[in-house]
Amino acid sequence: MTVSILLFLPLIGALVTLFFKGSAAKTAALFFGLAELAVAVGFLTQFVPDSSVQFLVDSPWIDQFGIRFHAGIDGISMVLVLLTTLLVPIITLSTFKHQYNKPGVFYALILFMQAGLLTVFTALDGFLFYVGWEVALIPIYFICALWGGADRIRITLKFFIYTFAGSLFMLLGIIYLYLQTPYKSYDLQAFYDLHLSSGQQNMVFWAFFLAFAIKMPIFPFHTWQPDTYTESPTAGTMLLSGIMLKMGVYGAIRWLIPIAPAGLENSGPYVIVLAVIGIVYASLIAFNQKDGKRLIAYSSIAHVGLIAAGIFAWNIQGVQGAIIQMLNHGINVVGLFFVMDIISRRLNTRDIDQLGGISKVAPQFAVKFLIILLGTVALPLTNGFIGEFLLLDGVYQYNIWLSVVAGLTIIFGAVYMLRMYKKVMQGETNSLTALFTDIDGSEKAVLLIICALIIFLGVYPQSVLHLSEASVKTLIQQVNVKTFSAK
């Protein structure tokens, strides 16, 4: 069994779902999402947690230009495959209380986007990686533009311009690397084997970094994010925050740093400073947000800033922390946006100041919201703790003072998140919140799954860490050897 089944099944699902109408489209999308998850679990049961690439597919595609359909899964990409195949059915299930115009198109776009995301996380050919990168962008653009809020067209156009411009820089970098290879190949290993000068690596570093920094996003490339998250339909926001931003994080680990280690050595300190600035900046802005969805958007920027700092510190703790935190952040942020969607759908507002006392009328909802929130603020024995601990350890090994400032994300996050919970859930009910009804059906199922994952990964993080450990160590060693030999 090769990874090709993982890439083509969502495309088949998208084509089939396109012809369904009404609730049948939801059911079809959920079926294909669960089928894809079953395939991923099948890969997981056969996966050997070493540094090798497994379930390979390597076939000629556009052979005269050295382009091959070359993809596979190692320990790093295995975590991202699990994240994608796990969150897509959860996101699909979370929409069951919504009614969308042209539901067949809406759910087909979600599955089409899943195919692009999985291509990015498994591609071993530069051209295939770029195709997956763009394929993932197209459906989310239409999801946000067709089913978003009142200002969706302007906001979505800004998002598209930002991400597409970054992608063009990356494409130029990929073409440049292709021209440097002896046999004109887009193969990832051929890129790794190149002996580029320091100046060449600096150029490649920034060409790739711009694309990845916009996607994450890292300060100051973040300005598209809060508006896009706020105006998008909740499912679109979940896809963007839960999975799509991980494309940039993964790209930095897999493509950017191993290809241009001299660029990391020369420019990495500036990148880490930008990431740490973003942590403090986004946290301070989150304090002043009245819209719950927008507050979560800024919280996401702060958490991703810490992930970026851990990556560019480039040590085992930082990279391992980034990998497990990609999974944890995806689970937690999807849970938070779903909580805000439930509140918005029932009360027709996301204004935190208009809420209060919901825990008195919806105790089940209150408990699950609290578990998700505690995972987000990295309480020990929740999933967020081990990831943030490893990330701070990685940054600490790089620079103690940067780690002190980066640690503010935990302190600030706890303050504004717990304050939001207090305003929304505690106190006395008002004329609006007294009518709030407790969760049921698909809402309860989604929140139960998310809470179970938060607790399981908090108690047993080794279930994820062991998958990527060997691959991370090998990759870091390769980069260090390449850096040392260049001196």
Over residues 233-268, the pLDDT tens digits come to: 899 999 989 999 999 999 999 999 999 999 998 888
Phi, psi of 233 (to 5 degrees): -60, 155
Over residues 337-349, the pLDDT tens digits come to: 999 999 999 998 8
Is residue 198 within 8 Å of residue 262, measured between CB atoms?
yes
CB neighbours of residue 470 within 10 Å: 17
Distance CA 71, CA 74 (A): 10
302-321 burial, b for 16+ CB within 10 Å, e for fewer?
A: bbbbbbbbbbbbbbbbbbbb
Over residues 169-199, the pLDDT tens digits come to: 999 999 999 999 988 899 999 999 998 888 8
Residue 123 β-bridge partners: 71
Over residues 354-412, the pLDDT tens digits come to: 998 899 999 999 999 999 999 999 899 999 999 999 999 999 999 898 999 888 878 88
pLDDT above 70: residue 209: yes
Residue with more model confidence, 223 or 10: 10
pLDDT band at 486; cut points 50, 70, 90: low
pLDDT above 90: residue 465: yes
How are beta strands 67-73 and 54-62 bridged, if at all?
antiparallel
Q: Helix or strand or coil: residue 351?
A: strand
Mean pLDDT of the chain: 91
Residue 485 is predicted with a pLDDT of: 62
Phi, psi of 325 (to 5 degrees): -75, -25
Confidence (pTM): 0.93
Task: Please report, for the chain, the start and end positions of each structural domain, with discontinuous segments joined by +.
Answer: 4-486
Residue 484 is predicted with a pLDDT of: 64
Q: Helix or strand or coil: residue 466?
A: helix
Distance CA 422, CA 447 (A): 19
Measured CA angle at 109 (ends 106, 114), to 5 deg: 135
Distance CA 71, CA 56 (A): 6
Distance CA 139, CA 116 (A): 9
Is residue 327 within 8 Å of residue 79, measured between CB atoms?
yes
Distance CA 397, CA 420 (A): 33
- State the amino acid at position 308 in one-letter form: A
- Mean pLDDT along residues 95-113: 91
CB neighbours of residue 428 within 10 Å: 9
